[in-house]
Amino acid sequence: MIGGLGRAYVVPFAGVSVTAKQDFFYIKPAADKPISVEWIEIAASGGTADAGDAQEELFDLRLIRLPATVTVGSGGTAPTPTPLNPNDAAAGLTSRVNDTTVATTSGTALTVHATAMNSRVPGVWLPAPEHRWLCANAQAIVFRLETTPADAILLSGTMIVRELI
């Protein structure tokens, strides 16, 4: 069982105006510290501007493993992962959120989970521990918005990732 091993970290973003396809989350493991993605949530935020039937949108989402020679995207930010246990050390992994230029790989990108969400309902990915995807040092993992929003929408999101040390 993977859950509970290693150190868990939270990588969030809040109230971001999303207008284009993007990597909601980009995680690159540190050397000798493979990672497991444990939980992802994306939800509309920011009041009533995107509420109601006329504003409803459907978004395609993908969890993608980038296997080799990864080039990080740009246009977003690099938040510091927060340990779930306040006594844990700082994360070794690299995290980015909301990159509108998406990450690329010299290898063949592997979609490990394809899903969708309705803008009126949070999108949650919570796999069973035995079904969590691992990512090793030379690789990266991204959670990508594959649909261009019809108009700007405020979204918030959180990823919990575990370093398996």
Mean model confidence pLDDT for the chain: 91
- pTM of the predicted structure, to 2 decimals: 0.91
Q: What pLDDT sits at residue 2?
A: 45
What would the pLDDT profile of 129-159 be if each residue is shown by its tens digit? 888 888 998 899 999 999 999 999 999 999 9
Domain spans in the chain, listed from the N-terminal domain onward: 7-163
Checking if the pLDDT of 1 tops 50, the result is: no
Task: Say which residue the tokens 């993605």 belong to.
Answer: 37
> In this structure, what are the phi and psi dihedrals at residue 32, rounded to the nearest 5 degrees?
60, 20
What would the pLDDT profile of 9-23 be if each residue is shown by its tens digit? 999 999 999 999 999
Q: What pLDDT sits at residue 3?
A: 46
> Residue 13 corresponds to which tokens in the numbers above?
């973003």
Q: What percent of the chain has pLDDT over 90?
A: 77
Q: What pLDDT sits at residue 56?
A: 86
